[in-house]
Structure 1
Amino acid sequence: METNNFDKIIKRSLDIREKYHQLEVKGNGKEWSLEEDALAYLTDAGLVGRNVMSHQKTWLKKDSPEELEHKLAENIWWLIVLADRTGIDIKEAMEKFLTKTENIL
């Protein structure tokens, strides 16, 4: 993925999160906290597991490739949001991670 494309994905992700914050304020009187965002991410991460199990036919739920695709992308979205909320530059963090892992292997 080119950096320019990743920049666009990050911007779109953060724009969407801002719209959700507006809905939270409207519905609950306040934006979700960082901890609530982290819990939402963990819930979606768990759903990835269930969808993969369904894909492998080891979970009783009907396999839905669209749902698995959606949840995988949603998890990436949450990670971008969490990085932003914690002051982490996700592009820099990815570069460090990839370089470190490549050097280990």
Structure 2
Amino acid sequence: MMSINFEQLKERSLVIRKRYHELERIHHESEWTVEEDALAFLTDAGLVGRHVMSQQGRWPKENTEEELKHKIGESIWWLTILAERMDINIGEATESFLTKTEKLFEK
């Protein structure tokens, strides 16, 4: 499987988000707000936690490996969408975080 760069991640994510916005207008007569997107992300992030517990044998559900992979990918997608909607460059934000955190461990 090939890897994806931040620009591809952003472009593909925006296309998918546009399609979801179309469905939201059909079903709710308006697009979700940034706050609603954030809540959807938090819901999926919580499911990542539950699937991790299951994978590690700490929650009584089996066969969650594919669901875990899906929810991790979906969480990255949501973070990309949230960053874009708030005019934050996800690549720059990630680079800044990594650089700042690496410097903490150089001491």
Q: TM-score, normalised by structure 2?
A: 0.92
Where do 5+ consecutive residues of structure 1 fail to align? none
Q: TM-score, normalised by structure 1?
A: 0.93
In the TM superposition, 1:5-84 aligns within 5 A as 5-84=5-84
Tell me which residue corresponds to 2:100: 100
**Contact 2:6–2:90 (8 Å) recurs in 1:** no
More helix by share: 1
Shift of 1:63: 3.3
Alpha-carbon distance between aligned partners in 2 of 1:79 and 1:71, rounded to the nearest angstrom: 12
Task: Report Cα offsets for 1:27-79 as digits up to 9, x if no partner.
Answer: 11000011110000000000000000000111112132100000000000000
Shift of 1:5: 2.5
Counting aligned pairs with the same residue, the percent is 56
What CA RMSD, in Å, does the superposition of the two structures yield over aligned residues?
A: 1.6
**Contact 1:44–1:71 (8 Å) recurs in 2:** yes
What stretches of structure 1 move > 2 A for 4+ residues in a row?
A: none
Where do 5+ consecutive residues of structure 2 fail to align? none
Give the number of the structure with larger relative contact order, counting CA–CA contacts within 8 Å between residues 6 or more apart: 2
